[in-house]
């Protein structure tokens, strides 16, 4: 499995944003400038810019993995695993044992996120098997269903919460 190195990607993504700032102000031109700048560095990136010129979505592709802003869930992501449509999905990475690791950001409070995850997962037939807060800034909750497991980590990140979800088959 290929490793994804976040540091260089963030640096190149910053350069891509700067490249999009000059010249023609149309959304299509800005999208093309962003994508061309990434391509010049060997990065497969798709950008979506709104009519105001703000970047709505960025998607850096490396194999089946995706890193960016406002990503879609993978087409084969399990329908019975809850991911809120309000969360800004920043990473989708396949797990070698079958499943995914999804990283996202939410403006909801951590206790609201945990409550919503618990309600929705149980409604989908998942059994809650663990829940704790190993430190004040982090909450964890785990579920099992059939031969699968799903775990959620909710971490404080200033004004937002980072939500990491991993689903996989049981060992």
Note the pLDDT tens digit of each residue in 84-118.
999 999 999 999 988 999 999 999 999 999 999 99
Q: 31 near 48, Cβ under 8 Å?
A: yes
**Residue 157: its H or E element:** strand 148-157
- C-beta neighbour count of 43 within 10 angstroms: 18
- Average pLDDT over every residue of 151-171: 95
Q: At a CB cut-off of 8 Å and minimum separation 6, what does 104 contact?
A: 83, 87, 88, 89, 90, 91, 162, 163, 164, 165
Average pLDDT over the chain, rounded to whole?
A: 86
Q: Is the pLDDT of residue 74 over 90?
A: yes
Give the chain's radius of gyration (CA, Å). 18
CATH (one of 1.10.20, 3.40.50, 1.10.3470, 3.30.310) for 71-171: 3.30.310
Q: Tell me whether strands 99-106 and 160-169 are parallel, antiparallel or unpaired.
A: antiparallel
- pLDDT of amino acid 44: 85
Q: 5 near 60, Cβ under 8 Å?
A: no
Query: Per DSSP, what are the bridge partners of residue 106?
Result: 161
Pairwise CA distance, residues 122 & 125, whole Å: 5
């Amino acid at each position: 499995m290929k490793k994804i190195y976040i540091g260089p990607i963030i640096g190149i993504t910053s350069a891509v944003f700067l490249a999009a700032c000059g010249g023609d102000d149309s959304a299509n031109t800005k999208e093309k400038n962003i994508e061309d700048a990434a391509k010049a560095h060997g990065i497969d990136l798709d950008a979506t810019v709104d009519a105001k010129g703000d970047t709505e979505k960025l998607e850096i592709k490396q194999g089946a993995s995706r890193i960016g802003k406002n990503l879609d869930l993978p087409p084969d992501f399990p329908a019975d695993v809850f991911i809120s449509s309000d969360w800004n999905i920043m990473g989708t990475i396949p797990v070698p044992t079958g499943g995914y690791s999804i990283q996202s950001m939410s403006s909801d409070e951590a206790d609201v996120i945990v409550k919503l995850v618990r309600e929705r997962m149980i409604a989908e037939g998942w059994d809650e098997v663990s829940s704790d807060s190993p430190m004040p800034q982090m909450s964890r909750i785990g579920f099992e269903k059939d031969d699968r497991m799903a775990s959620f980590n909710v971490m404080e990140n200033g004004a937002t919460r980072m939500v990491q979800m991993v689903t996989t088959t049981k060992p």
